[in-house]
Structure 1
Amino acid sequence: MNAIMNFMRRNYKVLLVVAALSVALWSFIPRGNKNDPEKDKLLLELLAFVINKGHYAPKDIDDNFSKIVYKDYLTALDPSKRFFLQSDIDEFSKYETLVDDAIRNKDLTFFDLTYNRLMQRMEESKAYYKDILAKPFDYNVDESFNIDYDKMPYAKSTAELKEKWRKQIKLSTLSSLSDRLKLQEDKAKGIKEEPVADEESDDTEPAPKTTAADEAPKTFEQLEKETRENSLKSLNEYFGFIKDLNREDYFSVFVNTIAETFDPHTSYFAPEDKDKFDMSISGKFDGIGARLQKKNDFTEITELISGGPAWRGKELEPGDVVLKVGQGKEEPVDVVGMRIDDVVKKIKGPKGTEVRLTVKKVDGSMKVISIIRDVVEIEETYAKSSIVKKDGKLYGVIYLPKFYIDFENKDSRDAAKDVALEIDRLKKQGIQGLVFDVRDNGGGSLRTVVDIAGLFIDQGPIVQVKSTGKNKEVLPDNDSKVQWDGPLVVMVNNFSASASEILAAAIQDYKRGVIIGSKQSYGKGTVQNVIDLNQFVRNSATGDLGALKTTTQKFYRINGGSTQLKGVASDVEMPDKYTYIEVGERDSENAMPWDKIDPANYNVWDRQPNFEKAIANSKKRVAQSQQFRLIDENAQWLGKRKDENDYSLNIDKFRKEQENIKAENKKYKAIGEYKTNLEFTSLPYETAQMEKDEVLKEKRKRWHESLAKDAYVEEALNVLSDLQDSGSKPTVNLKKREKLVKS
């Protein structure tokens, strides 16, 4: 742990250097209001300055840089090319090589031009879709629409743009109409509609209540009208969301495009985005514990977070509409029509303070609900475990969604402490092998991953980190205690990134456990620091400037290789739906390159005699598995389908195409119906909690059901079985037994 803290102290100098050099900026004290050009200019200046001084590999801000920003920014503003005209692009084009000059000179001309033009085009487009949806479509016309927006040209005229809108909307309504016609035809044939199943569970949506009018067959004209009405409602909601965005939001898009041109993980956080980032990395926040959703001008409660103040109070309910928000004894503020981000700001607040919500209940009654804010923990963020018996042996499964930590409070829970605790609980149940699942885990704290990897080895290096112009630093586990020394499998997929890759790489290099999953993990081999931009400007009247997350270091495996781009290759490669689709860091245009450095000194784990045999056996099983063969066939089909962008807008041809796709899809239906016949259960402490918490009980039920259908988890358990040394049991290193966590 001392090594980690020393490392953090040494590298804090990166921030101190930036802070020291920023004295020159302190003399610039802007004045302004919310949409303040002076604040925008200051952000441009700070962005260029901080990245130039703090980024691992800063790029020259020149004409080539300008061209990349120009292209990506316009794509971000209008990705489907349904707002700007070619004449707009022609007008913008003179700035293609001038964005670098605009950054240096703090010139907002290009941004102002694009922002004002976008607002104009969006306002004009409202009339387009309303006019298009006012009359029926002719689905007998033989025409088509290509949805490859990258290759699609901008419309040359307003008439051409309206035609593009017409085809886009027609494709959407045609898809909906086809579904409605199929449903009605199936009913006439006595074929019942298949329930809509959650992809991760067996739970199905309850069938909606139907009336006699609903049961009666509808004419084509009635169904066609319904699809247009639904499309109109959706577009109205979309433009309602657009209306909530202000100039600051669009300027954040511009600033972020500049930042991400350096690399995909350098980005600007507006103040509210910084709060969301802090919440995501710690898994908690101060508030009432409710999830909100905007519906037209109203803010609706969609979910209460289990264990939070609102959940404990039992007065606020999903479906309640928030009309007013009051702080303590202050006069409540009307929030109808307010941006949802602004409503959230008013509801959240420091622990121990009171907020009063005036809500309209589902039954139409009005009620004022007083809630005392508290720390709310987002349960989905945290590690969870389960036990399962297979072939007479008991195994444990730990799922870690992210490497969370509270940087403000070292005594708070973090991923390393929680994982160590779950391992301890699993050992008390007598498990003989452990599956550690970091699939879809995008990373998190560097400190916690070093601590977690250390739970599985005696002691030694975990990861190497390098800053520009400095010697590498080795981050070790110096504690000889091993929290778990039995058979270990680490599960990864294409979206296991950053800290997940550090863990998988360390376990693989030590040959401590078997890595199974996708061909390779995500491929993010860089470290970011979040720099508060407010520290560089004193006495500013601009308000909160937000923060910049910038890449300051690269990390390397202890064998010297980088996970950048290449990720971690699984010991046992298992097909999935993304096998033939480029995803991950290698799919990013501005990604940093792969390289390598000298390896660290480490000793391979020598207490797993069946290691190579277990890998070989697993590869054979995967190759012979009918389920994995089917998954691979489906992946090949999806790989081909991703390039098919042309859709007929003729109803007969469209329905024929969809029938062919559905027929092909039926071949792969068995993938979702697969069952392992294994039973996963919670540990005793959690079973007791579920007796008092129905929400937690339902969440665990869904998770256990998804595990029981997961062929990847089943194979992980098979590998654990192969890793068992005949006749031996995992041992527990009793050295420093009282020390549960290495940090």
Structure 2
Amino acid sequence: MSLIVTLGRAATLALLLGTGPALAALAPSDAQHQAAVEVAESLRYGHYADVSLDDAWSRQAFDRYLDLLDGQRAYLLRRDVTAFEDLATTLDDAILDGDLSRPFALYRRYHERAEARLEWLVARVDAGLDFRFDGDQRMLLDREDTPWPASESALDELWTKRLKNAALTLTISDQEPEAIEETLRERYEGQLTRLRQTNAEDVFGLIMAAVTGSIDPHSEYLSPRQSESFDIQMRLSLEGIGALLQADGEYVKVASLVPGGPAERAGVLKPADRIVGVGQEGEEIVNVVGMRLDDVVDMIRGPKGSVVRLDVVPAQAVDMTRSKVVEITRDTVNLEDQAAQGEIIEVERADGVHRLGVIEIPTFYVDFDAWQAGEEDYRSTTRDVAKEIERLVDEVAEGIVLDLRDNGGGALQEANSLIGLFIDRGPTVQVRDARGRISLYGDTESGTLYDGPLAVLVNRLSASASEILAGAIQDYGRGLVVGSDTFGKGTVQTLNELSHGQLKLTRAKFYRISGESTQHRGVTPDVRFPSLVDPETIGESSLDNALAWDQVREVQYRRYGEPERYLETLRERHRQRADAHPNFHYLERQAKLAERLREQHTSVSLNREQRQREAEAQEAEQLALENQRREALGLEPLDEWIDARDEEDSDEAQPVDRAQVVEAAEILLDYARLDDGLRFAEYD
């Protein structure tokens, strides 16, 4: 208190609002001025799209900057936004000229508001929380489309609800009042500390994220620190859990898992899961709600062999109190962990048992170092798959399923050469650059390794090179594509050096040999399986400013078959099996339930009894579905729905993922016999 008295009233106000020396130091450097100009020029002349940095673009970039700063409309007031409305028409000039003074000033205004609000929250917690969890109050979960608050009192009302909701969530989780106050105090003090550690590089990164993200979601500025981290990831030598994380409001969400990584091997994380706490082995778990994404990532990384504990809310859980602590041992990802693996699946029919081969391909990999060194026996996806095909054929497989589920892509050359195992020379993919020039890639080697019945199994996380392979097999009529719609990542990025940092820039676009882009829409399967992955949250179409789907001219190629002639029959036979199979019946009903719950769950009650009734009703529906599945399979019922995750990977549980593989084999067998029958009839 004596310090505040000595400083005087004006200095005290500055201290409380955060307008002291630290905030004043948040100003652009000469290096950042120059980097902004280089980014602008790269976007104008190097990006795939026809980019015009004009007033129309300024509005889009300004709105995106506001979304990055305060996407939930929880800190800035309407008058704050109005005071910087000039950026809606001048941001283009600011970036082109490298004059970042106004964008930095907007950040400082946000910083002032956020710091004052966090201090307000800490003070409220220190004064003691005496909330009554009754009445009919509800809190809106997503405020992205709400108007900017008009007054401080409106923000006070919003944050009182947010604080009450945070306290209620912890209360339902059986924390004592003192522990709740301590948890919330640590949360807000931690956020305040991290906010005060913001430096000019962080602010510049936000501005550049708004600039590049307004063009497309994959173009990205990397600061010198981020560039170093990116290089480490590309070398696959980073020790961690092997999960790609992204910010989702106040939460950190799992975007995808690295094939063969520790998280995938452990089976305790799934895409769209939310991480609400992180702890080291033997230590308390730290709540990470509201924490910066890079800070959460740093907490999860660690030495190989060490254990990280994560407090996780499953993707299908609507209530954020339904979390579970899981443990993952950190490790590096080796090439062997991502290698293709084959197996034989036996399918029983009236005429006996049929053997179908399945090859799981987690990623498209190649040992570049060994390849460039001229080693003859270097590892690659194509070589490993070829060995598996030969082994499965020797074991009398009647057809082969390529399992590309969760395969996010990798080396394009491997996708091309892998397609070549199934066709006798021909194009595989078209690539159009920013100038409209189209390059054609394909298989140049004569002959095929395997010309038998073929199917490709995909899901929402099959992306990039996976989509090229699935699309080519479909276009050639070489086989069936089964599963769910793929991711839709049909763009190509290059990494460009800047005078300060690097720029990952979208420079080209993939097109199928039929001329259709894989961008945005992905590959549509011939026989569709229901999916629990919400396309509104996972996939290219869920990303802001994703480039649109379009077409180019198709190229000449030969057709190997006509699977479309049998699709009506194949779909009907699949439907009959799916209706009778407990796992597929569960999958379809669970997908519909999850969609309905997402549509209903736009707000939460701040009445404890009502909140618990809603959560229990939702979980009861999910538990009933799970237990119906288990009863049909002759398994013991579960008492808690959240325990289903622990049983997914056991042989006894017969997980849904396995059911999809078996059904893909069933569909392939149907196709093989229909095709053989038609060929025999035509020959006869």
Please say whether Structure 1 and Structure 2 have the same fold, judged by a TM-score greater than 0.5. yes
Find the counterpart in structure 1 of residue 668 from structure 2: 720
Residues 1:319 and 2:284 are matched in the alignment: no
Structure 2 unaligned residues grouped into runs of 5+: 1-24, 244-259, 263-279, 284-293, 310-330, 373-377, 636-645, 677-684
Separation in 2, partners of 1:525, 1:446: 12
**TM-score between the two structures when normalised by the length of structure 1:** 0.66
Whole-Å separation in 2 of the counterparts to 1:38 and 1:551: 26
Structure 2 distance, partners of 1:273, 1:264, is: 17
Describe the superposition over 1:607-627 as per-residue Cα deviations: whole angstroms up to 9, x where unpaired. 989965545533543466564
The answer to whether residue 583 in structure 2 is matched with residue 641 in structure 1 is no
Alignment of 1:59 onto 2:24: no
| In 2: Cα distance, 1:291 partner to 1:584 partner | 19
Displacement after TM superposition at 1:466 (Å) = 1.9
User: Cα distance 1:124–1:532, how it changes in 2: closer, same or farther (>3 A)?
Assistant: same
Residues 676 and 709 in structure 1, CA contact (< 8 A), matched pair in contact too: no
Which residue of 141, 147, 151 maps to 2:141?
147
> Any conservation in 2 of the 1:395–1:717 contact (CA below 8 Å)?
yes
Deviations 1:693-743 (A, max 9, x none): xxxxxx9x9497887542322211212332445999xxxxxxxxxxxxxxx
**Quick one: distance in 1 between partners of 2:556 and 2:493?**
26
- Corresponding position of 1:437: 403
Output one character per residue of 1:309-349: Cα deviation in whole Å (capped at 9) or x when no partner. Answer: xxxxxxxxx7389xxxxxxxxxxxxxxxx97989999989x
Equivalent residue for 1:5?
A: none
The answer to whether the 8 Å contact 1:244/1:339 transfers is no
* Secondary structure of 1:90 counterpart: helix
Q: 1:305 to 1:490 in 2, by over 3 A?
A: closer
Equivalence for 1:689: none
Number of aligned residue pairs: give it: 565
Q: Say which of 477, 486, 489 aligns to 1:511.
A: 477
Cα distance per residue 1:568-598 (max 9 Å; x no partner) = 1110012223578575333444232322222
Write the distance in 1 (CA, Å) between the matches of 2:379 and 2:26. 37
How far the C-alpha of 1:416 sits from its partner, in A, is: 3.4
- Equivalent position amino acid for 2:515 in 1: G
- The reply to whether residue 256 of structure 1 matches residue 204 of structure 2 is no
Between the aligned partners of 2:119 and 2:446, the Cα distance in structure 1 is 70
SS in 2 for 1:474: strand
CA distance in 2, matches of 1:383, 1:136: 58
Distance 1:505 1:674, change over 3 A: farther
Give 1:488 deviation, angstroms. 2.3
1:170 and 2:125 are equivalent in the alignment: no
Q: Out of 269, 279, 283, which is 2:222 matched to?
A: 269
Q: 1: CA distance between counterparts of 2:412 and 2:632? A: 36
- Residue 410 (structure 1) aligns with: 371
1:590 aligns with 2:545: yes
Shift of 1:107: 0.7
- Cα distance in 1, alignment partners of residues 385 and 102 from structure 2: 50
Q: Residue 441 of structure 2 aligns to a residue in which SS?
A: strand
Q: How does 1:104-183 map to 2 (within 5 A)?
A: 104-133=96-125, 134-180=128-174
2:413 to 447, 450, 464: 447
Structure 1 regions of 5+ residues with no counterpart? 1-32, 181-221, 293-303, 307-317, 322-337, 349-356, 363-373, 538-544, 679-698, 729-743
- 1:575 maps to what in 2? 530
Task: Report what 2:620 is aligned to.
Answer: 663
Deviations 1:173-207 (A, max 9, x none): 32342343xxxxxxxxxxxxxxxxxxxxxxxxxxx
- 2:559 is aligned, of 601, 604, 610, to 604
Aligned counterparts of 1:527 and 1:580: Cα–Cα separation in 2:
22
Contact 2:240 2:302 in 1 (8 A): no
Which residue type is aligned with residue 453 of structure 1? I
Alignment of 1:493-572 (within 5 A): 493-518=459-484, 520-533=485-498, 537=499, 545-572=500-527
Higher relative contact order (CA 8 A, sep 6+): 1
Residue identity matched to 1:590: N
In structure 1, what is the equivalent of residue 440 of structure 2? Answer: 474
Please give the per-residue CA displacement for 1:125-148, whole angstroms capped at 9, x wherever unaligned: 332222333323211243221122
The two structures, once aligned, show a CA RMSD in angstroms of 4.3
Give, in whole Å, the separation in 1 of the partners of 2:416 and 2:72.
Answer: 43
Matched-pair contact (CA < 8 Å) for 2:530–2:587: yes
Residue range with higher mean Cα deviation, 42-51 or 236-245: 236-245
Q: Which residue of 1 aligns with 2:20?
A: none
1:515–1:241 CA distance, 2 compared to 1 (3 A): farther
* Matching residue within 385, 400, 418 for 2:361: 400
Contact 2:240–2:300 under 8 Å retained in 1: no
Question: Contact between 1:572 and 1:619, CA under 8 Å: does it hold in 2?
Answer: no
Which whole-Å deviations, capped at 9, do the CAs of 1:206-261 have from their partners, x for residues lacking one? Answer: xxxxxxxxxxxxxxxx7444444334444445555555653313321211221122
Once the two structures are superposed, residues 367-407 of structure 1 have per-residue CA deviations (whole angstroms, 9 ceiling, x without a partner) of xxxxxxx9963766554444444434444433333334566
* Greater displacement, 655-664 / 499-508: 655-664
Identity percentage of aligned residues: 31
Give the AA of the match of 1:146. L
Aligned partner letter, 1:570 = P
**Per-residue CA distance 1:601-653 (angstroms, 9 max, x = gap):** 21222498996554553354346656445433433333333343122212222
Task: Give me the TM-score of the superposition, normalised by structure 2.
Answer: 0.71
2:496 aligns to what SS in structure 1? Answer: strand
What corresponds to 2:68 in structure 1? 76
Please state how far the C-alpha of 1:427 moved relative to its aligned partner: 4.6
Task: Say if 2:482 is the partner of 1:485.
Answer: no
Q: Using the alignment, how far apart are the partners of 1:717 and 1:562 within structure 2?
A: 28
Q: Structure 1 residues 76, 722: closer, same or farther in 2, change over 3 A?
A: same
